[in-house]
Structure 1
């Protein structure tokens, strides 16, 4: 299990590195974070293993503890470590977003592992009025040589959100083997009119 967690961490870092050259770069959020599974529930599961198949609720919260969004996870499968299940937003060093009336993008990645690891990735566009516009969730299983789709936010295309294909591969940096994420090509754009998202 430790080995799986390490691979997930490398994969998450590699994703950011591969994306930053072309698209808006993310940073770990200082405004929002995920809560963890209640420790009392984990203690109950130790005494009664049948409870591990019941989903628990975790939350996306702000710096003062306001619950903004909720998610259902399996208590023993959820991986809460930074770089695995985490919250990111557009880096403060990036130029102004080219999406009308949007001042930030929040990305929440939740990883649950049970043999294989499943990624559930949520995106919200944050308007200047602090309204959260959710994009359709992205889900995929972690696997070498597996392709999946994800969003990207280009500098040079106004009011459009890209959807692209990626592939997870093994790569070497000197003597070190890494799990990295390779851009495979553009799929389509979603249109943003300042209020709603629509598909082309």
Structure 2
């Protein structure tokens, strides 16, 4: 009986970890530099593959560099999308009178190419009530072969209250149209 309980516990941990983005050191931030717009305090940073610095993922523009709270890089392994090994997420957090975070998502192909999804920006004046996120097939509420962009509404205790799908993208190994970031503002 003990073995069965231990197995169920370990299996549950594996399922939970498979659905979460995990911090990684596979990718890194480098080449922090001024963009030439000193009056706006805008900086540029490069995202690279750590063990292959020539492998450039993206260049991000960081406005209001003085308000930058941090940059976090995480991955979601085995997202159950054809020819995609993992999802790379770069979260850029700002903190001032209101906090905000921008999330940049990159699909990492079997050939180690990177496909960018439109970025998402969430702004908060108080506790977050609604966030916009991408939901991938191997995550809770995910849909097979589909990337969902959804507004997730939370209760006061930070549990999920409701999910509203904003866009459903059937994955067919295609490029995405570039578009402005999607923004959720909580005031």
Greater relative contact order (CA < 8 Å, ≥ 6 in sequence): 1
Unaligned residue ranges in structure 1 (runs of 5+): 1-19, 42-50, 172-179
1:115 is aligned to 2:94: no
Q: What corresponds to 1:10 in structure 2?
A: none
Q: Which runs of 4+ in 1 moved over 6 A?
A: none
One of 71, 81, 99 as aligned partner of 2:81: 99
Tell me the TM-score normalized by structure 2.
0.68
Tell me the TM-score normalized by structure 1.
0.64
Q: What corresponds to 2:68 in structure 1?
A: 78
1:6-49 Cα offsets, whole Å, 9 max, x none, are: xxxxxxxxxxxxxx7597221101211234856xx8xxxxxxxx
Distance (Å, rounded) in 1 between the aligned partners of 2:162 and 2:31: 34
1:185 is aligned to 2:134: no
Distance (Å, rounded) in 2 between the aligned partners of 1:127 and 1:31: 15
One of 23, 28, 46 as aligned partner of 1:28: 23
Which structure shows the bigger proportion of residues in strand conformation?
Answer: 2
One of 106, 115, 121 as aligned partner of 1:133: 115
1:56-81 Cα offsets, whole Å, 9 max, x none, are: 1122122143443111222211112x
Change (3 A) 1:97 1:118: closer
Change (3 A) 1:35 1:170: farther
Unaligned residue ranges in structure 2 (runs of 5+): 1-14, 178-187
